[in-house]
């Protein structure tokens, strides 16, 4: 369910194996794409999920999750008792626990399994997946999750544990994206060649996955045709989850808060649908070059 930046490559990855993969997205173009990679596109969510033992959900937020499960085309009513709903999205601990309770009332399992790594790793089965699930739900979902992950860790025995770990992960990811943008903007302001600066940084102690992954796109962020791999508004959502969690525990998170403000400014400037690397244009509205 959901064939966006992460859902499509995950479906493609699973379709390479021996499994029958039914796929649905509200966008017909995404359904056409998944058909090219061996999955079976369906005309509705209920058609795709009917009778399935495992449903993988890749949506943007808790509102979309609610629609997928209990909306007019909701799948919860067509799943057999004991089926597992595997949530790969980041929606926060409290939201996941609420959904898990409601699914339990319908004799369905929620596997809290947020993913990290980006679309390329999703297609290669090299995601980091942190899981919160009961013993029964873990047993049901583990074989499928192993096909998607290079690192699969069961963090805890209940839904919510996966989200908690992903929240920590997203704190670092959001801060690293913002820091990478700031560093490359500074390099440009100092008259350095950004590509040469990026290559030099990636060879030293300042190297990071986010710098290497987002850096090239940040350099191109002033171009209108920059590829969108991860929308900026995803990190508006995720950093809000991070900072809400920090406040709830009484923990100060000043660096995460600063990064959140950059993403919020980008969203306010109409960049929400742009790649998250475009946060560099918030720091430096115009390139020095």
DSSP 277: G
Q: How many residues does the chain have?
A: 289
Residue 117 contacts residue 87 (beta carbons within 8 Å):
no
Distance CA 156, CA 135 (A): 10
**Residue 78 neighbours by CB under 8 Å, 6+ apart:** 46, 49, 50, 51
Instruction: Find the largest Cα–Cα distance for the chain.
Output: 63
Q: H helices of the chain, where?
A: 7-15, 28-35, 45-49, 62-70, 93-105, 119-124, 135-148, 161-189, 194-201, 209-219, 232-248, 254-268, 280-283
Catalytic residue flag (residue 237): no
Distance CA 88, CA 233 (A): 17
DSSP 224: T
Burial 136-165 (b: 16+ CB within 10 A, else e): ebbebbbebbeebbeebebbbebbbbbbbb
Which of these is catalytic: 109, 166, 214, 217?
166
Q: Which residues are catalytic?
A: 166
């Amino acid at each position: 369910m959901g064939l966006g930046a992460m859902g499509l490559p995950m479906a493609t990855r699973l379709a390479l194996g021996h499994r029958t993969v039914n796929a649905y997205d509200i966008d017909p173009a995404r359904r056409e794409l998944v058909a090219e990679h061996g999955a079976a596109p369906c005309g509705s969510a209920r058609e795709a999920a009917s009778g399935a033992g495992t449903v993988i959900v890749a949506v943007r937020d808790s509102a979309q999750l609610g629609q997928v499960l209990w909306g007019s085309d909701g799948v919860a009513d067509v799943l057999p008792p004991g089926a597992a709903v595997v949530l790969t999205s980041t929606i926060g601990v409290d939201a996941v626990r609420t959904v898990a309770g409601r699914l339990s009332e319908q004799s369905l399992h929620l596997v809290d399994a947020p993913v990290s790594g980006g679309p390329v790793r999703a297609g290669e089965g090299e995601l980091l997946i942190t899981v919160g699930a009961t013993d029964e739900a873990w047993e049901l979902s583990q074989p499928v999750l192993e096909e998607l992950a290079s690192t699969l860790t069961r963090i805890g025995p209940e839904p919510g544990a996966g989200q908690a770990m992903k929240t920590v992960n997203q704190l670092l990811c959001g801060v690293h994206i913002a820091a990478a943008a700031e560093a490359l903007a500074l390099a440009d302001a100092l008259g350095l060649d950004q590509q040469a600066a990026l290559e030099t940084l990636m060879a030293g102690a300042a190297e990071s996955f986010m710098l290497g992954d987002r850096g090239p796109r940040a350099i191109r962020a002033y171009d209108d045709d920059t590829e969108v791999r991860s929308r900026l508004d995803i990190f508006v959502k995720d950093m809000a989850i991070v900072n809400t969690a920090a406040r709830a525990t009484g923990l100060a998170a000043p660096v995460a808060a600063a990064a959140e403000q950059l993403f919020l400014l980008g969203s306010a400037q109409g960049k929400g649908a742009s790649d998250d690397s475009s946060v560099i244009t918030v720091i430096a509205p115009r390139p020095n070059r």
